[in-house]
């Protein structure tokens, strides 16, 4: 099961009843149009997130995990996922400096009675200079849980259909 998902995720560079909160209306007047794209590049200057490595929110934990794969930095994985040994084979090769990850938040759902959150994203691996177009990548769902110290951890991720 993990292998079946891990291989496509690595190639793509990823990513109880819950009340739904539509894809945060970041940068969308009146929530119209598709959600905006965000970028995770090889370094902080080529990245739209300013919280990678600081999993203080569910989205920051997801961005930290995505940056772990994009930058081939297992230390970032360990910050947000307790089951990081499953990723050992992913980091055999160095990251491709011409690639970046474009992603957008499709849905964020939080359970009112618990500290669990689900974030679903669309993602696509891009080459430097390539424009972000229609979604041609994959979608991933991340389950997150708030820890007693206030940080967020990824407790599961995979295909949103499963």
Residue 115's pLDDT is 81
- Do 80 and 153 form a contact (C-beta atoms < 8 A)? yes
Residue 135's pLDDT is 65
In the predicted model, residues of the chain with pLDDT beneath 50 are 1-29
pLDDT digits (tens, 9 = 90+) for 57-74: 999 999 999 999 999 998
Report d(CA 98, CA 91) in Å as an integer: 17
Residue 34's pLDDT is 80
Residue 66's pLDDT is 96
Residue 142's pLDDT is 96
pLDDT digits (tens, 9 = 90+) for 114-140: 789 999 999 999 998 888 877 667 899
Indicate the average pLDDT of the chain.
79
Residues near 8 by beta carbon (within 8 Å), at least 6 away in sequence: 138
- Do 44 and 154 form a contact (C-beta atoms < 8 A)? no
């Amino acid at each position: 099961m993990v292998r079946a998902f891990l291989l496509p995720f690595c190639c793509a560079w990823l990513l109880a009843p819950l009340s739904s909160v539509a894809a945060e209306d970041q940068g969308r007047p009146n929530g119209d149009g598709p959600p905006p794209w965000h970028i995770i590049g090889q370094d902080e200057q080529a990245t739209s997130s300013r919280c990678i490595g600081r999993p203080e929110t569910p989205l920051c934990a997801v961005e930290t995990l995505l940056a772990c794969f994009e930058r081939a930095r297992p230390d970032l994985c360990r910050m947000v996922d307790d089951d990081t040994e499953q990723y050992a084979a992913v980091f055999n090769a160095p990251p491709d400096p011409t690639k970046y990850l474009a992603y957008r938040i499709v849905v964020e759902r939080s359970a009112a009675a618990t500290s669990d959150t689900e974030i679903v994203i669309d993602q696509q691996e891009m080459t430097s200079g390539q424009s972000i177009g229609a979604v041609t990548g994959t979608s991933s769902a991340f389950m997150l849980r708030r820890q007693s110290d206030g940080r967020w951890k990824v407790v599961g991720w995979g295909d949103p259909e499963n």
